[in-house]
A = this chain, B = another copy of it.
Amino acid sequence: MKIDVCFSPALYPAYHNPENIVVVVDVFRATTTMTTAFHNGVKNIRPVASVEEAKAYKEKGWLVGAERHVKRCDFADFGNSPFDYTPEKIKGKEIVFTTTNGTKAITLAKDAFRVIIGAFINLQAVAGYCLARQRDVTVLASGWEDQINIEDTLFGGALVDTLVNSGKYQTGSDAAIIARGMWTAHKHDLMGYMEQTDHLSRLKANHLEDSIPYCLALDIAPVVPELHIEKEILLLQI
């Protein structure tokens, strides 16, 4: 089987295969946050691509997480920090969620065989999900407004490395080789590598860097949120 990494939503048409498992990743912070929410007992999450949709849900009384350009939208109950989604606030609840890049990527991939949510905090759980289903895998990096980012590509490399090391997967293209090379070069000092990135600068500028070590921790939330579509509504569940 093959695993490939799509470095940006803008590249998805060139990497898209409807038969694949697509792993959507937005390390800082949408997919880390959603995975955390499930680990903390949320019942389900409705990812929506636009702020307008999120606001409409809020007006109907839903709990809403909404972020644009790293900041919480003022109408929302939660922002995009994983620390917002504590068991006390979300256990057993249904929430609506929109972020700058991550939820757009989920919407883009929605017609794939399966769409799941990946982050460093559920890396091995995602690998196990893929190995159990014996399917080709595409990691879809959410990027930043269609630009490539280091952290999502690096997660792609980590999953490539894990699946190739299992002996069951091969790299699907040069992109997977590049991503795996980043992971093997930097896996022992993720934080040091991140110090160089655009997104860390953005988060620091908004005093939001407190969640970075959490976002880079491996396997502390071993759940795999999976996309379902019910009557045209996107719904993440575990």
Interface residues of A, Cβ cutoff 8 Å to B: 7-8, 10-11, 13-15, 144-150, 153, 173-175, 177-178, 181-182, 185, 196-199
Contacts and interface: CB of A to CB of B under 8 A. Distances in A.
16 contacts: A10-B10, A10-B11, A11-B11, A11-B146, A11-B147, A14-B146, A144-B174, A147-B173, A147-B174, A147-B175, A148-B173, A148-B178, A150-B177, A153-B174, A174-B196, A178-B182
B178 A147 contact: no
A209 to B, nearest CB: 16
A181 to B, nearest CB: 7
A185 B181 contact: yes
Contacts of A14: 8, 10, 145-147
Taking each of A14, A147, A148, A181, which has the highest tally of chain B beta carbons within 10 Å of its own beta carbon? A148
A199 B175 CA distance: 12
B174 A7 contact: no
